[in-house]
Amino acid sequence: MEQNKVQLTIDGRAVTVPAGTKILDACASAGVRVPTLCHLPEVSSNASCGVCVGEVEGAKSLVRSCVQNVSPGMVIRTNSPRVQESRRTIVELLLANHPADCLSCARNGSCELQALAEQLGVRRLPFPRTRKRPAVDDGGYALVRDNDKCILCGRCVAVCKEVQTVSAIDFAGRGIRTRVASFMDRSLANSQCVSCGQCTVVCPTGALTERDETDEVFAQIADPDRVVVVQTAPAIRASLGEALGMKTGSLVTGKMAAALRRLGFDKVFDTQFTADLTIMEEGSELIHRLTNGGKLPMLTSCSPGWVSFIETFYPSLLPHVSSCKSPQQMFGALAKSYWAEKAGVDPSKVTVVSIMPCTAKKFEARRPEMRDAWKWWKEKGKTYGSFYDVDYA
């Protein structure tokens, strides 16, 4: 046996892995699937959930396989009655403080807790609720936070801190009052959160979700007085296909445009056009800065999460950020100015909907300065009630 290799037994099978391998990874390499809830490979684990436990021969208690390293000669059982009972009890305890509204939850069908309860055959809820129902934080434009659905796995905290380097949220309180909170328990909208949405991507439950404005969009479509146009970001034509079960990378541009028209959108546009405009504008600005001694290096402004990050954490670098709008906002401004004029449509009756791959776009659409089409018409002597360039993202 090579010195840096470890031989062990997992569920009766001999397995050899590099020294220092976590039991969870050793199991995966042997084709043994161990359930997890709090574990996220890219970030440090706080091993809080206990769902990944295994039974190690000779050990008094069950071990958490996501943080425990293998050792030579280890004999592990990942599915013994003791392990199964422990996992089931953990999930029953989590469900005791979890609202039973799965059917109307945004994560119904993609919730890891729901899937685990099903997989473990949880058929009863023997434990009483111990936690008071916290208020839903839905004051922001981008995200909704429902701590009643939070299982305190810590994934959001780790991603926000270690990947996004924002640290807008952390654990607060003790015992049954433990919660994920922003500074002083403020709403996320009033914290240093940059609306990037990465916490919603890793949250295993419906505790962190993007704000859903589908009903509002359908109401606009149903209103005969509104002209509802939609822009689709370049990423969407691939991610939609993937979300609908097609092979990764499948392009569904035509199907998507046809489906949007059938849903009732009056016009379907491609944000690619204004992405090109952004590149041209940024290129011109860079040349202008190079030839006239402007601030260099110049940083792109096309991501609202990135812009918000610089505004919040590095305000002294703002002069380096390009003054160009993002493709989404360029489209909104053009749709309600140039396009409305060409099409002979009242711009105040145009609703612009964006289908985007990023929650920060929702926040960007509601920035108070994003009303350039309205300002443009005002300069031309047309006074409409104030409107945003983009209405829904």
Instruction: Please identify, among the stretches 165-173, 236-244, 254-262, 310-318, the one whose residues bind ligand SF4 according to the rule CB under 6 A.
Output: 165-173
Which DSSP string do the residues of 201-238 spell out, in sequence order? HH-SSTTEEEPP-HHHHHHHHH-TT-EEEEEE-TTHHH
Q: Which residues contact 110 (CB under 8 A, 6 or more apart)?
A: none
Residue 157 or 275 having the CB closest to ligand SF4: 157
Q: Which amino acid is at 249?
A: G
Instruction: Please identify, among the stretches 6-14, 152-160, 238-246, 364-372, the one whose residues bind ligand SF4 according to the rule CB under 6 A.
Output: 152-160
- Least distance (Å) from ligand FES to the CB of residue 111? 16
Contact 311, 368 (CB under 8 A): no
Inter-helix orientation angle 327-334/372-379, to 10°: 30
Distance in angstroms (rounded) separating the CA atoms of residues 22 and 20: 6
Closest-CA residue to 205 (of 133, 142, 155, 138): 155
Helix, strand, coil tally for the chain in percent (to 5)? 40, 15, 45
Three-state SS for 256?
Answer: helix
**HSE-up (13 A, CA, CB side) for residue 390:** 28
Instruction: Please identify, among the stretches 30-38, 164-172, 207-215, 323-331, the one whose residues bind ligand FES according to the rule CB under 6 A.
Output: 30-38
Q: Which does 36 bind (CB under 5 to 8 A by kind): ligand FES, ligand SF4, none?
A: ligand FES
Q: Which of 120, 144, 199, 302 binds ligand SF4 (CB under 6 A)?
A: 199
Q: Which of 166, 256, 335, 365 binds ligand SF4 (CB under 6 A)?
A: 166
Which DSSP string do the residues of 58-82 spell out, in sequence order? T-SS-EETTTPBP-TT-EEESS-HH
- Least distance (Å) from ligand SF4 to the CB of residue 183? 11
Residue 203 or 353 having the CB closest to ligand SF4: 203
Contacts to ligand FES from residues 37-96, by CB under 6 A: 37-39, 47, 49-52, 64, 66
Instruction: Please identify, among the stretches 63-71, 160-168, 329-337, 382-390, the one whose residues bind ligand SF4 according to the rule CB under 6 A.
Output: 160-168
Distance in angstroms (rounded) separating the CA atoms of residues 91 and 85: 10
- Least distance (Å) from ligand SF4 to the CB of residue 335? 27
Q: Which of 15, 83, 122, 153 binds ligand SF4 (CB under 6 A)?
A: 153
**Is residue 197 part of the contact set for ligand SF4 (CB under 6 A)?**
yes
Residues that bind ligand SF4 (CB under 6 A): 143, 150-156, 159-160, 164, 166, 168-169, 180, 188, 193-199, 202-205, 207-208
Residues that bind ligand FES (CB under 6 A): 36-39, 47, 49-52, 64, 66
